[in-house]
Structure 1
Amino acid sequence: MFLDLTQNTQHNVYSYLVGGISPRPIAWVSTLSKEGVANIAPYSFFTVASCNPPVLSVTQVNPRDKANKDTLLNLQATNNCVVNIVSEELVEKMNQSCANYPHNVSEFEAANIETIASTHVTSPGAAAAKVRYECTLRDVIQISDEPGGGKVMLLNVVGIYIDDNVLVNGYIDPTRLNSVGKMGGDYFSSTKDKFVLKRPQL
């Protein structure tokens, strides 16, 4: 099968994008609304955009029923957030937090997720997350405002919390972190299994 998107732009390519580009790390983004309601929601269109300066990239896929999700609305109102990394033991609560709650409902409370105060930002973090990136909003790049279109949130990292139990010789051990990834459909992956492949030396 070959989908020629230059000839037919009406193809529903979502399943082919998320099914083929897999697994994807999950940014569990916590924010605080201007009314003081704490929000947390998972995003799998997520990666490191830059190391110097440290910048993360999280993309909102626009919902059908509104222009923006609570995360982006809160980010634009307060200019900060926390990106919590999802370890396997947090998967159930992470999944519960992605339900379509009303704007004035805190996913932290609805999914019984314990909060923790941040050091440099007003948004709380997920207390059980082994790695948390405190961020300020750098920019929002709008690719499309249509349903299914993307808005890229670029986030300046201003502080990083790392649980000492996931560190080995000062570095994060992926087996101890045991973060999960999003695949196509309802599938997720874990990082319990790993292998080492050293870069070739020329």
Structure 2
Amino acid sequence: MGNISIDPSKQSRKENYKFLIGSVLPRPTSLVTSKNNSGLINAAPFSFFNVVCSDPPMIGINCARKPGGVRKDTSLNISQNGEFVVHIVDEQIVELATQAAIEFPPNYSEVEEVGFTLEESHYISVPRIKEAKIQMECKVSQIIEISNKDGVPSSDFIIGEVVCFHIDETLYHEGRIDTLKLAPVGRLAGFNYTTVENDITIPRMNFEEFQKKKEKQNI
């Protein structure tokens, strides 16, 4: 059994995208709210999303651009406003979060259209979605513009510092979050998602423990 080696520079953007989403999984899923200059609240789901740093707490989302390097609403709003809220997508809101990906006209708010409830944030002007069990108020730290091989901007990597965590009290216990109660949803390829039904505990060994384990295996 051998490998198939493929040069991404000889493939289309769509072909490389399929390989990425079929390989890097399950991906954490989030729903991001932002606000435009007119005060309209935008909501968009992201699966190109993860932790960037813990000191200070930072998270990153990658917002792909439209053809011709045109920024999407989320990226444009955040670049203008400097604030956004990241919500963890769970089993209870995944369907509504997916509906927020619909290309609504510019004067429509996805939040209102799909039926989410907004509530004020504590430290930023962008409101939170009440239905999400975990909400993170963020202020922009960096926006890194990524260009393709032709020099055309293809996406924006947005790094935000978390200035406030909002955690449903039913999930919180002694500084930790109960994963199974949160019921986060991970993104797979295509239109598929996955849930956390079982977790695997693998304690991390120090060097001495690792050496002892190797010695036992070699006996």
Query: Which TM-score tier does this pair reach, normalised by the shorter chain?
Result: over 0.9
Amino acid corresponding to residue 122 of structure 2 in structure 1: T
For the pair 1:86 / 2:89, whether they are aligned, the reply is yes
Structure 2 vs 1, CA of residues 15 and 9 (structure 1 numbering), >3 Å: closer, same or farther?
Answer: closer
Q: Which residue of 2 aligns with 1:191?
A: 196
**What per-residue deviation string (whole Å, max 9, x for no partner) do you get for residues 161-194 of structure 1?**
0111011333101111111011110110111322
SS of the residue aligned with 2:80? helix
Deviations 1:103-144 (A, max 9, x none): 221001110111111000111111011111100111110111
Whole-angstrom CA distance in 2 between matches of 1:92 and 1:65 = 30
The structure where helix makes up a greater share of residues is 2
**Alignment check: 8 A CA contact 1:83 1:133 kept:** yes
TM-score normalised by length of structure 1: 0.93
Q: Distance in 1 between matches of 2:83 and 2:201?
A: 36
1:152 aligned to which of 157, 178, 186: 157
Alignment of 1:133-172 (within 5 A): 133-144=136-147, 149-172=154-177
Which secondary structure does the structure 2 equivalent of 1:194 belong to? Answer: coil
SS of residue paired to 1:120: coil
1:28-87 CA distances to partner (integer Å, 9 max, x unpaired)?
100111101111101111111111111111001222376111111111121101001111
Q: Which runs of 5+ in 1 are unaligned?
A: none
Match of 2:28 among 25, 28, 36: 25
> Comparing 102-111 with 57-66, which one deviates more in the overlay?
57-66
How far apart are 1:88 and its partner, in Å?
0.6
| Equivalent residues, number | 201
Q: Give the Cα separation in 1 of the matches to 2:103 and 2:152.
A: 16
Report which of the two structures shows the higher radius of gyration computed on alpha carbons: 2
Sequence identity (%): 28
Instruction: Provide the C-alpha distance between the structure 2 equivalents of 1:184 and 1:62, rounded to a whole number of angstroms.
Output: 20
* 3-state SS, counterpart of residue 150 of structure 1: strand
Partners of 1:62 and 1:147 within 8 A in 2:
no
Distance 1:143 1:39, change over 3 A: same
1:63-82 aligned within 5 A: 63-64=66-67, 67-82=70-85
